[in-house]
Structure 1
Amino acid sequence: MKSYLRLAVFTALLGLAPVAMAISTESAATELIQRQHVGRNLKTLATAVAQRTQTFAMMASKLGMPATQSLVAKELDAYAGKFQDQWNANLATIYARHFSAEELVSLTAQGSNSPYAPKLAAKQNVIGAEMQQLSTPILTAYVSAAMNSAFAKFSNR
């Protein structure tokens, strides 16, 4: 009976191992994203998207380019907190798909000196494509919120 119980516990623990591994890989990916500031490009991307909108062009024709850029930058700053966490979570999800917990911990601690830095460099295009597919709705919502707010302030001038 005791042997059966030990076997049942051992089998149950084996069944939980992939879940524990997935959680630690996701945690390691989240830590990498936070410590290495991997998601810092969100505002840069949002600025580029915002500047291609008709709303931006219309405001720039009335306010001038510097004033419009300043207004949009302030609104992007104001809304960044609402979208940054989800952006970072998507990055962590993607990194966890491509790297083990060990690799992620090494990249977090050693950065470009990690033995896994070449693997990271080799995966950048794939990670970028996956991020674009997964996170375009976040970028769109972020730019829309900031531009709507900027336009409201522009209209009240």
Structure 2
Amino acid sequence: MNWTASAAIALTLLFSLSSPAFAETPALNEARALVAKAHMGSNLPAIAMSTAQGTVSYSMIAEKLGSADADRIVSEEITALLPKYQPKWDENLAQAYEKSFSEEELASLVADGPTSQYVEKVKAQQATVGSEMRSTSEPIVAALVTEALKETMEKRVQ
């Protein structure tokens, strides 16, 4: 490899790693702690299930297995896939909170929970955080649902 190519690779790596997406900030760390402590990402299975139920694939599964079995089996597949998708969902959620709250606010929410003076701000920012999550996390939900439905079809619907 010549010097020019090596320099180009080094500069590309330097710029990509210095981008805001890779920046570790105290506020982001507090947001991660908040998401974990408050189990804020626990709605992913329900969102995925609701999304799945609106698909043609789910309708086909329900037609073959019945609604109750379809719900149970697709839910089981979603749950089995959570280790693959939950970390990115939680990271996106932390990033959404980081955009709406200061480090001080997030630290208070982590430390004080429901008694934090910023609880009302959490309620006030729900629409903003939700909008951010929709824009960054729809691909996660789509991939989770697609994989869960595919697994269900392959295992249970012949």
Report the TM-score, using the length of structure 1 for normalisation: 0.83
Q: Shift of the alpha carbon at 1:44? A: 0.4
Taking the aligned partners of 1:65 and 1:155, their CA distance within structure 2 comes to: 13
Q: Which has the higher helix share?
A: 1
Structure 1 residue aligned with 2:53: 51
Structure 1 residue aligned with 2:153: 151
Structure 1 residue aligned with 2:63: 61
Structure 2 residue aligned with 1:73: 75
1:7-53 C-alpha deviation (Å, 9 max, x unpaired): xxxxxxxxxxxxxx961111000000000001000000000001111
Write the letter of the residue equivalent to 1:58.
Answer: M
Structure 2 residue aligned with 1:98: 100
1:115-135 C-alpha deviation (Å, 9 max, x unpaired): 011111111111101110110
Report the 3-state secondary structure (helix = DSSP H, G, I; strand = E; otherwise coil) of the residue aligned with 2:25: helix
Taking the aligned partners of 2:125 and 2:157, their CA distance within structure 1 comes to: 45
The number of aligned residues is 136
Deviating 4+ runs (over 3 angstroms):
none
Taking only aligned residues, the RMSD between alpha carbons, in angstroms, comes to: 1.3
Structure 1 gaps of 5+ residues are: 1-20
Q: Percent identity?
A: 36
Taking the aligned partners of 2:88 and 2:26, their CA distance within structure 1 comes to: 19
Rg: which structure is higher? 1
Taking the aligned partners of 1:62 and 1:136, their CA distance within structure 2 comes to: 28
1:105-124 C-alpha deviation (Å, 9 max, x unpaired): 11112222110111111111
Write the letter of the residue equivalent to 2:140.
Answer: I
Structure 1 residue aligned with 2:119: 117
Structure 2 residue aligned with 1:134: 136
Taking the aligned partners of 2:157 and 2:38, their CA distance within structure 1 comes to: 39
